[in-house]
């Protein structure tokens, strides 16, 4: 038995065999060949084997993920069947007398470079990405190594990876993938957030899981504490079975609060809302009894698509969510691309610090063609529910005014076209940059509401990358520096008669909740699976006892741990 510790990223306990989602070594050397025919035969066998892989993957992907997601594999098969591509490789083998691996690489590099140079043609740029993918597959067959195919998983497994991008995570089939564990990443990296919406346990930032476990070994993942047990003993299995059962019983207890209000012992009411990434997450929101959607991360709509989503496609998605919530508020955040979220068809410049770079509203204000399409879709959808629009990563009042100005222009155009827009539409902003938290009093005069994004606010305030496990000790939600910023935002909004929500992961944190209730945060928005836990915790609180707790916490001497203990002791003595 070996035990590793990482960062607990998604609750729950799972036991299954390890599935290594690790890229094999595809390096090779160039060699001169004498028998071209034999080499071309090798190439044909590799092409055929690749096509047959893709046929299987496509079939399974269509069943488990849907027809649309499966279509990417059609594009891959078309490349393998394209005589221009395969003919060029054969030509190189014949003319240059090089091995098939080298001929494939040279031809693929040429195609990729040509397509990538078409910077104003998103479709061709995406074909470049397809060629890279297909080439990897053919190369793996030439070299006789196996590529991992997560779409082919058809038995219960625990996925082990160095890192998972949000799009890798989106492809995991929750029916078979019981949990995942990665070497790198933090609790607020987007793959961790998605694990919580898929409701599978996850541990990130173990540093060395990929070198500590082998394919097929049995693994227990304890997503509550962040422990991974490799090759457990019978005693370990029995212990974790018990823990899993206790967790299930606790969940059943929380279930009873599903249709209740979020109210404290002394009768103060709060809103407990859920965060979503796609309309598919609506079921989880409703199953967990959330009272609103406090954050719809619309960038996943852009990431799930092979080109910029059209106004109508976006309108349909927003309408589905608003109708699905049947009049309950829905806070939609405009596109937040950049940082760890990339679009294959909208290449962003390589940057030294992507989280400090060209991101979110900065892209929207720069590419207002993309922004306007999204705003029009939102304004049209506003007729179907209670829509609140917010802009991410606002640093200055000027940015907010500019974004809101564009929204007003699009609204005026729609009205002039005879379309309708809801009267009950609020426009707010995320507070996730320290500058806007400090100057919340100025912003509060301009906005209808704030939503505090602690995932970014903490990383920027503490200068600790949210994705980097080495500095995760500095990721301190209870640090008085963070608590004072949060309190400043809430107080500033209330002074202007506005409301403040929180949609960062801290909103669902059990230690944070008593402090936030004490500060009068209006809306708590979190992974849907945390809603009932937080509602149950609120029932135990008496707000009249929380003023002193908050006062002590914002004045402790910079210590995150001291505040954690302060709140834990407080809760224990209730
Ligand atoms: C945040 O920063 O807290 C937030 C909710 O936004 P995201 O995690 O998508 O950056
Ligand atoms: Mg953010």
pLDDT tens digits along 508-519 = 999 999 999 999
Residue 340 binned pLDDT confidence (cut-offs 50, 70, 90): confident
Token couple for 454: 């602690």
Mutate to test the pocket of ligand 1, among 504, 512, 524 (most ligand atoms within 8 A of CB): 504
The phi, psi pair for 232, rounded to 5°, reads: -65, 155
In a domain, 531, yes or no: yes
pLDDT beyond 70 at 294: yes
**Closest Cα to residue 427, out of 398, 450, 456?**
450
Alpha carbons 187 and 203: distance in angstroms, whole number: 8
pLDDT for position 66: 67
pLDDT, tens only, 478-533: 999 999 999 999 999 999 999 999 999 999 999 999 999 999 999 999 999 899 99
What are the b/e assignments for 63-72, b being 16+ CB within 10 Å?
ebeeeebbeb
For ligand 1, atom 6, which residue shows the shortest CA distance? 453
* 455 CA → ligand 2 middle, Å: 6
Alpha carbons 390 and 28: distance in angstroms, whole number: 50
Active site residue 503: yes
Give, for 230, the enclosing helix (H) or strand (E): strand 227-230
Contact 243, 13 (CB under 8 A): yes
Q: What percent of the chain has pLDDT over 70?
A: 97
Please check whether residues 462 and 553 belong to one and the same domain: yes
Q: Pocket residues for ligand 1 (CB within 6 Å)?
A: 188, 295, 297, 336, 432, 453-456, 503-504
Residue 147 binned pLDDT confidence (cut-offs 50, 70, 90): confident
Highest mean pLDDT among 128-137, 145-154, 368-377: 368-377
User: Where in the sequence is the domain holding 168, given as residue range(s)?
Assistant: 2-22+150-252
Count the neighbouring beta carbons within 10 Å of the beta carbon of residue 147: 15
Active site residue 162: no
Give 495's Cβ-side CA count (13 Å radius).
13
CATH of the domain at 70: 1.10.274.10
**Alpha-carbon torsion (157, 158, 164, 169), positive or negative:** positive
Please check whether residues 192 and 294 belong to one and the same domain: no
Please check whether residues 450 and 539 belong to one and the same domain: yes
Bridge-based pairing of strands 227-230 and 218-222 is antiparallel
Three-state SS letters, 244-261? HHHHHHHHHHHHCCCCCC
CATH of the domain at 302: 3.20.20.60
Please check whether residues 420 and 531 belong to one and the same domain: yes
Residue 172 binned pLDDT confidence (cut-offs 50, 70, 90): confident
Please check whether residues 113 and 78 belong to one and the same domain: yes
Mean pLDDT score, 376-382: 98
In a domain, 30, yes or no: no
Between 7-16, 168-177, 181-190, 347-356, the lowest mean confidence (pLDDT) is in: 168-177
Please check whether residues 409 and 474 belong to one and the same domain: yes
pLDDT for position 469: 81
- CA distances to 10, 191, 324, 336, 541 from 341, rounded to whole Å, are 20, 10, 26, 8, 38
Domain count, the chain: 3
Please check whether residues 93 and 242 belong to one and the same domain: no
Please check whether residues 214 and 314 belong to one and the same domain: no
pLDDT, tens only, 63-84: 766 676 677 788 889 999 999 9
* 311 CA → ligand 2 middle, Å: 24
Between 392-406, 425-439, 556-570, the lowest mean confidence (pLDDT) is in: 556-570
Residue 275: strand pairing partners = 295, 527
Residue 57 binned pLDDT confidence (cut-offs 50, 70, 90): confident
pLDDT beyond 90 at 116: no
Residue 1 binned pLDDT confidence (cut-offs 50, 70, 90): very high
* 437 CA → ligand 1 middle, Å: 15
Show which of 143, 169, 198 is a domain's final residue.
143
CATH of the domain at 215: 3.50.30.10
Alpha carbons 486 and 483: distance in angstroms, whole number: 5
Q: What is the mean pLDDT of the chain?
A: 92
Active-site hit among 44, 76, 141, 190:
190
* 295 CA → ligand 1 middle, Å: 9
pLDDT for position 173: 80
Pick the ligand that lies closest to the CA of residue 296.
1
Residue 377 binned pLDDT confidence (cut-offs 50, 70, 90): very high
């Amino acid at each position: 038995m070996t035990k590793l510790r990482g960062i607990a990223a998604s609750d729950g306990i799972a036991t299954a065999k390890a599935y290594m989602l690790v890229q094999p070594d595809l390096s090779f050397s160039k060699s001169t060949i004498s028998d071209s025919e034999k080499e071309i035969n090798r190439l044909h066998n590799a092409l055929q084997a690749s096509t047959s892989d893709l046929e299987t993957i496509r079939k399974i992907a269509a069943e488990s993920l849907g027809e649309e997601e499966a279509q990417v594999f059609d594009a891959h098969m078309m490349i393998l069947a394209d005589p221009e591509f395969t003919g060029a490789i054969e030509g190189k083998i014949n003319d240059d007398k090089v091995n098939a691996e080298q001929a494939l690489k040279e031809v693929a590099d040429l195609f990729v470079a040509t397509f990538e140079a078409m910077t104003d043609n998103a479709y061709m740029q995406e074909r470049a990405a397809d060629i890279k993918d297909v080439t990897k597959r053919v190369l793996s067959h030439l070299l006789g190594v196996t590529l991992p195919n997560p779409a082919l998983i058809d038995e219960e497994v625990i996925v082990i990876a160095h890192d998972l991008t949000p799009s890798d995570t989106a492809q995991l089939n929750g029916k078979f993938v019981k949990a995942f564990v990665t070497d790198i990443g933090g609790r607020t990296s987007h793959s961790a957030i998605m694990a919580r919406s898929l409701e599978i346990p996850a541990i990130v930032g173990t540093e060395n899981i990929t070198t500590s476990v082998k394919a097929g070994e049995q693994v227990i993942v304890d997503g509550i504490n962040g422990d991974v047990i490799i090759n457990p003993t019978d005693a370990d299995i029995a212990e974790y079975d018990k823990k899993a059962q206790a967790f299930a019983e606790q969940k059943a207890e929380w279930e009873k609060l599903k249709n209740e209000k979020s109210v404290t012992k002394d009768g103060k009411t709060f809103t407990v809302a859920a965060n979503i990434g796609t309309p598919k997450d609506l079921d989880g929101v409703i199953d967990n009894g959330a009272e609103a959607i406090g954050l719809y991360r619309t960038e996943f709509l852009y990431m799930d698509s092979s080109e910029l989503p059209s106004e109508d496609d976006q309108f349909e998605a927003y309408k589905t969510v608003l109708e699905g919530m049947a009049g309950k508020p829905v806070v939609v955040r405009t596109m937040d691309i950049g940082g760890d979220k990339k679009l294959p068809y909208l290449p962003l410049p390589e940057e030294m610090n992507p989280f400090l770079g060209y991101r979110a509203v900065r892209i929207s204000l720069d590419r207002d063609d993309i922004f306007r399409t999204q705003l029009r879709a939102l304004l049209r959808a506003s007729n179907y529910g209670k829509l609140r629009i917010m802009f991410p990563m606002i640093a200055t009042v000027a940015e907010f005014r500019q974004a809101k100005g564009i929204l007003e222009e699009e609204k005026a155009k729609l009205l002039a076209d005879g379309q309708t827009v809801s009267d009950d539409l609020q426009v707010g902003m995320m507070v996730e940059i320290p500058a806007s938290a400090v100057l919340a009093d100025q912003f509060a005069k301009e906005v209808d509401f704030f939503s505090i994004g602690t995932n970014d606010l903490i990383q920027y305030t503490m200068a600790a990358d949210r994705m980097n496990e080495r500095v995760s000790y500095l990721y301190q939600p209870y640090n008085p520096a963070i608590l004072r910023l949060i309190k400043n935002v809430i107080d500033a909004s209330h002074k202007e008669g506005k409301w403040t929500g929180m949609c960062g992961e801290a909103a669902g944190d059990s230690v944070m909740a008593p402090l936030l209730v004490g500060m009068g945060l209006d809306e708590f928005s979190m992974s849907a699976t945390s809603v009932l836990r937080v509602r149950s915790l609120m029932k135990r609180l008496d707000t009249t006892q929380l003023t002193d707790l908050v006062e002590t916490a914002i004045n402790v001497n910079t210590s995150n741990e001291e505040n954690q203990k302060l709140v834990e002791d407080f809760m224990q003595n209730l």
